[in-house]
Structure 1
Amino acid sequence: MRERYNRSLPKDLYRAEDVRAMDRYAIETVGIPGIELMRRAGVSAFVALRERWPEARTLSAICGGGNNGGDAYVVARLAHEAGMDVRVYPVAPPNSLKGDALTAYQGYRAAGGGVLDFIPADFEGAEVLVDGLLGTGLDREVSGLYAEVIKAVNRFSGHVAALDIPSGLHADTGVALGVAIKADLTVTFIGLKQGLFTGEGPEYAGEVVFADLGTPPEVRHSVKPSAMLLPQWERGLPSRPRYAHKGHFGHVLVVGGDHGYSGAARMAAEAAARVGAGLISVATRRAHADSLNLTRPELMCHGVETAEELRILLERATVIAVGPGLGRSEWAQTLLGAALKTDLPIVADADALNLLAANPRKRDNWVITPHPGEAARLLNTSSAEIQKDRFTAIRRLQAQFGGVAVLKGSGSLICGPNGLPSVCTAGNPGMASGGMGDVLTGVIAGLLAQRIELFEAAALGAQLHGAAGDEAAKTGERGLLASDLMDSLRRLVNL
């Protein structure tokens, strides 16, 4: 399974315009010449690709007409000076270069480096290909010669290292603009671009390495971050006192499991138990209440058909998880309505969100966990529009519905009242299977039951859920089941 990001990455994420402002600050206020920043970028990238592929002896570089191309010329010069067999393909004519990019090109030529005056159909003669085609300023679909070059790069069977961002990937949204280079390694400079970590970004970026280019902290402090990167799960929850009893760790009530969907409520309930909630009750259809806990007798399962029957269970609960397998029947609407009348913290998912889309409301003490399709219904748009700009979507969800919103998917986003999204990079494509969302609902509810604050429970829940999925996928992503995460959840909360 390909590594998603370097453990040593800083937590602050930025939009492309913010990183450009940081770059200007470094040049104009700190006094670092632009060509020196370009030289440092090239050195950082060359060191990173040599560490990643130490045996490589051949390198090709594609160079555009801007500073991204200038960075690539620096890498090519360093590779040439190191004795590598180097081939450079200038997509923009060298006589069109200006400023620092021109200086970098001249430095490469002065070192004895040559250029080829054509773009080959492929780059099979090299072990490593450096992408210096387009930078972070791209805001429209790639077309013409540049699109053809990107397609040729993606046919290349060797290793690809992108400079700052894979060409064709939108730095702010993580969307491929028609076509984008699929890199194995991305070395990004000055500030982390938020689009590298959500949506299509992780697929195109590969492993991300960060280089601050020796700029002082004041450069990064000159602008505010647009998002935050959550760390990998490396610790469990705090140890418990010896005198603890089950009442100290909350009582989760899972509401759901309509006819044919009892498994969803069952998985949410076990996930809440596996992360440490003290008691777990399930309010479900009477027809299968007696059988729901046959393989997990610790769950207290109740057949509930009316709001009054649910009210009795609500009086004992400390947290509600509503939606897994709930359906959209009159029964579902009745139970959701009863849950929403309480002051208890709620985790709402699945059909609870679909019902909420038809009757929107705002609430401060809940976590909503939509996937892009559910988010589209909540915001009255399409899932394609949600995926075009996940950062805008998560802010809209939180503003419209309150509490904490979790937008699931590659690079899940979590946003609370302060409006600054956090990005969770844990997880893998094997988790694209039924029931994974139900497990996440139970995980977050189980953390809330242990008196963890709303946003922290959502963020920790996303990290823990993704980490459990990654651990469970070590034997293979394909065929991964939601229930496969249970043992990993228990292990990880006890690290």
Structure 2
Amino acid sequence: MDTSGLQAIYTAEQTRALDRAAISDGQLPGITLMGRAAHAAFECLLAAWPSPARLQVLCGTGNNGGDGFLLADIAHKRGIPTVVLQLGDPQKIAGDALQARQQAESNGVTIQNFAEAGLSLDGVIVDAMLGTGLGGEVRQEYREAIAAVNASGLPVLAVDIPSGLCSDTGAVLGAAVRADRTITFIGRKRGLYTLDAAGCTGELHFADLGVPAEVYGQVPADGYLLNLAAARRLLPPRPATAHKGNCGTVLVIGGDHGMAGAAALAGEAALRCGAGLVKVATRAAHVAPLVARTPELMPRGVESGDELEGLLQSADVLVAGPGLGQSDWSAFLLRAAAASGKPVVLDADGLNMLAAGKVRFDGEVVYTPHPGEAARLLGVTTAAVQADRFAAVRQLQDKLGGVAVLKGNGSLIAGRDALLLSTYGNPGMASGGMGDVLSGVIGALLAQGLPPLESAALGVCFHGAAADAAAQSGMRGLLASDLMPCLREILG
């Protein structure tokens, strides 16, 4: 997949490698980068809170604290009442961070011990306590400071990353600052975009600090952030001579007793995203309701191999799993889908039967598990999947082949040599049927000729963006079917 125009994301170690590469040629000393970070953070702060009555800058003993010392120095020179609240043993401060503290102190910045002074309940808080090097649970001293910050009700700017948030996984390491704004530097840390991050970062900003472009060429990115504009450009234009026969035929396989809605949602989503024809293999009792709901769908009741075989032969892409259930009928349909050799989007009970060893898929397959389904596929707990979503999606792809989509806050898409992350979507999507819509979207893109990785990535991006558009009138009570008109508008 062409990643030009996409923003790179990095692990903490990769970000440190970028720092080292930027510093190594002598053109950008560490203290210079620290000063640029402090200026960028200060400007970010003023953009949100132009006239702060007071700044309270909480500094740790590492380079994150060094950024805070220099920010405090800038604010003090501008006449803003500023105090630095020190956490950790100041005797452990070394290198550029020590130089930064000495500079602030010599210029008259007040530096106090946090445990002794505590927070004042006015002004703006700057969190420069713990950076990307945090590898374990937050220690008690910092936990108390984080609790005080979160309880204060004051606006908070986090420097580089909210303290207590893991920059590699997005997990809260025991406790984490809930910032109103976060400004991160040099490399976008991947943990800022998934799992718990959304509840900690607030409005997220990035500053490259003037690091030369050639530095980024020295450190491979861990993955890339999807964006809607770039995704739209990957959609092939529809020629003037287009007709339904060359826009792809999708076959949705699902809708066991009591679950016709899932197949209906997947089918309508595929239609709304441009598939020329959408057929549904389902229970005979569901045919009339599906047609009544969406007359453009072509459902057929399927009980025998002969009935399914004709549908399989006519399809370009299969969407298997929405409302499929795990009955003998379900297993029969799924095995036939696997044997067809057609490209498949596998979802819901299709994934559960795969995890149970009832079927095997090869070839062009896009797997779309939520964390619970991913856990069953990997033979681990859901908590283990969520503890490191990046590792989990790569393990899924390694184990299953094809393309793996790990749904959730900051959905991840992994191909053999690619990792993509979508920041689109919102908490209103926590309702039934959303995954069925996604599987239909991806199926439609596959049917229109996009490769599996692009289809999965664009599908996740468009699906989340449609949900964001639909949520403009409110997140609570958002229905999967509310996405349908928005999908059309987003794809154009």
> TM-score, normalized by length of structure 2?
0.95
Check the 8 A contact 1:233/1:464 in 2, yes or no. no
Matched, 1:28 2:24: yes
Q: Which one of 471, 475, 483 corresponds to residue 481 of structure 2?
A: 483
Residue of structure 1 in register with 2:376 after alignment: 377
Counterparts of 1:396 and 1:214, CA distance in 2: 36
Residue of structure 2 in register with 1:124 after alignment: 121
- Displacement after TM superposition at 1:10 (Å): 6.0
Give the aligned residue type for 1:260: G
Residue of structure 2 in register with 1:3 after alignment: none
Bigger CA drift: 201-210 or 365-374? 201-210
Counterparts of 2:338 and 2:302, CA distance in 1: 16
Check the 8 A contact 2:338/2:361 in 1, yes or no. no
5 Å-filtered alignment, 1:422-461, equals: 422-461=420-459
- Displacement after TM superposition at 1:365 (Å): 0.3
Residue of structure 1 in register with 2:490 after alignment: 492
5 Å-filtered alignment, 1:20-169, equals: 20-119=16-115, 122-126=119-123, 128-169=124-165
Matched, 1:182 2:178: yes
Counterparts of 2:274 and 2:6, CA distance in 1: 30
5 Å-filtered alignment, 1:77-476, equals: 77-119=73-115, 122-126=119-123, 128-233=124-229, 235=232, 237-359=235-357, 361-418=360-417, 420-476=418-474
- Displacement after TM superposition at 1:238 (Å): 4.4
Aligned partner of residue 314 in structure 2, secondary structure:
coil
Change (3 A) 1:274 1:123: farther
Change (3 A) 1:227 1:292: same
Give the aligned residue type for 1:32: L
Bigger CA drift: 395-404 or 95-104? 95-104
Give the aligned residue type for 1:221: G
Bigger CA drift: 338-347 or 227-236? 227-236
Task: Structure 1: give runs of 5+ residues left out of the alignment.
Answer: 1-8
Counterparts of 1:306 and 1:319, CA distance in 2: 20
- Displacement after TM superposition at 1:308 (Å): 2.4
Identity of aligned residues (%): 52
Check the 8 A contact 2:228/2:461 in 1, yes or no. yes
- Displacement after TM superposition at 1:96 (Å): 3.8
Check the 8 A contact 1:257/1:324 in 2, yes or no. yes
Give the aligned residue type for 2:369: P
Aligned partner of residue 321 in structure 1, secondary structure:
strand
Counterparts of 2:119 and 2:360, CA distance in 1: 55
Counterparts of 2:252 and 2:6, CA distance in 1: 37
Aligned partner of residue 463 in structure 2, secondary structure:
helix
Check the 8 A contact 1:362/1:402 in 2, yes or no. no
Aligned partner of residue 209 in structure 1, secondary structure:
strand
Counterparts of 1:358 and 1:176, CA distance in 2: 32
1:205-240 CA-partner distances (Å, limit 9, x unpaired): 222211111111222122111111111357474442
Give the aligned residue type for 1:406: V
Change (3 A) 1:432 1:396: same
- Displacement after TM superposition at 1:121 (Å): 5.5
Check the 8 A contact 2:338/2:362 in 1, yes or no. no
- Displacement after TM superposition at 1:295 (Å): 2.0
- Displacement after TM superposition at 1:492 (Å): 0.7
Counterparts of 1:474 and 1:138, CA distance in 2: 37
Task: Give the number of equivalent residue pairs.
Answer: 485
Give the aligned residue type for 1:146: Y
1:286-325 CA-partner distances (Å, limit 9, x unpaired): 1221222212111111111123211111111111001000
RMSD: 1.7
Give the aligned residue type for 2:448: Q
Bigger CA drift: 25-34 or 77-86? 25-34
Check the 8 A contact 1:173/1:388 in 2, yes or no. yes
Aligned partner of residue 464 in structure 1, secondary structure:
helix
Counterparts of 1:411 and 1:217, CA distance in 2: 27
Counterparts of 1:232 and 1:56, CA distance in 2: 35
Counterparts of 1:123 and 1:299, CA distance in 2: 63
